[in-house]
Structure 1
Amino acid sequence: MSDDITPRLALPLLQPGQAQKETTHNEALVLLDLAVQASVLAVGTNVPPVAPAAGQAWIVGAAPTGGWLGQPGTIAGWTSGGWRFLVPREGMAVWSVADGQVARFSDGVWTLGVIAGSRVAIGGNDVVGARRAAVPEPIGGSIVDIEARAAIAAILGGLRGHGLIAG
């Protein structure tokens, strides 16, 4: 770790005997303001806005231009002192206002709207778990009910379409 920055967010640290410590401290606060409970207006934007407001932020796209040149994949936030850039860390999550979804940084890229987990529980009750074996569709039998068979096939098709059972 450098003695000049923090290991996770690269926030500037105060140094013994440093003049104008408030400048370093304020820079760290500005970067924290971008990182904590992060929210961006859009993901993958390459062109900086013409008249951003202080506090607005974007996830920079892969081919940035203008004031964002050389900052692909970073979080660009506008401050009273100009653009500040936050380099994302593995697993970082940011709310995208434009998409109404979470963007997550993993393996060097931002992924929008993907939620990963091993189960979904509501009120302590599992409602979706690991995918189970395929449910066989009805075939044959001594009494064939065409309507019942069509209803079961539609239910199975819906469950498969939503990825809740294997197809």
Structure 2
Amino acid sequence: MDGTPRWALPFLFAGQAQKEMFHNEALVRIDALVHGVAQSADLASPPVAPEIGQCWIVADGATGAWDGNDGAVALWTDGGWRFIAAKAGLRLLVVDRDHALHHDGSAWRGGAERSDGLYIDDVKVVGVRQPGISAPTGGVTIDSEARNSIALILAALRAHGLILS
């Protein structure tokens, strides 16, 4: 084996010439992945003027220098593009989406925690907390069963922290 099993970081071997090249390659990959940030996950072709150290998650249908690297992390370096195959558990903040994406071993998935709420399977299930809802009162005809049902619903929502009292 010439590298680590997950990220293919190159090993150094006794008697190996130009060890600094292998060590530097490992550092470049670590720099891209540790607390990683991708500029976008929606581009299928390379940006025109990338800055050294910037990353992208390559969108499906990649073209140009990214051809054949769908789903990989594209890293711009002083030596050109480097591609890192995504593995289960990789998580990158995506700048233009303002939330993280994580790789589940087969595809990139949107993170659950986003600035505008909590998502499950990319569907918002909890949004920004709204003002409290008061219990029903008043009215000409009092329907105790309806009020009881509403009170139980409100109690459940409050118990889960979804609404305030």
Q: Give the TM-score normalised by structure 2.
A: 0.69
Q: Which runs of 5+ in 2 are unaligned?
A: 119-125, 127-135
Match of 1:22 among 20, 23, 30: 20
Q: Is the 8 A contact 1:38 1:95 kept in 2?
A: yes
Aligned mates of 2:51, 2:14 — CA distance in 1: 35
Q: CA deviation at 1:113?
A: 3.0
1:4-153 → structure 2 map (5 Å cutoff): 4-114=2-112, 144=142, 152=150
Q: CA deviation at 1:145?
A: 5.6
Alignment coverage as a number of residue pairs: 128
Q: Is the 8 A contact 1:40 1:59 kept in 2?
A: yes
Q: Is the 8 A contact 2:72 2:83 kept in 1?
A: yes
Q: CA deviation at 1:45?
A: 1.7
Aligned mates of 1:101, 1:59 — CA distance in 2: 13
Aligned mates of 2:42, 2:5 — CA distance in 1: 26
Aligned mates of 2:26, 2:92 — CA distance in 1: 19
Q: Which runs of 5+ in 1 are unaligned?
A: 121-127, 129-137
SS at structure 2 position matched to 1:53: coil
Superposition RMSD in Å: 2.7
Aligned mates of 2:58, 2:6 — CA distance in 1: 20
Q: Larger deviation: 106-115 or 74-83?
A: 106-115
Q: CA deviation at 1:107?
A: 3.7
Q: Give the % identical residues.
A: 47
| CA offset digits 1:64-96 (Å, max 9, x no partner) | 111111111111010111111111111211101
Displaced runs of 4+ in structure 1, greater than 3 A?
A: none
Q: Give the TM-score normalised by structure 1.
A: 0.68
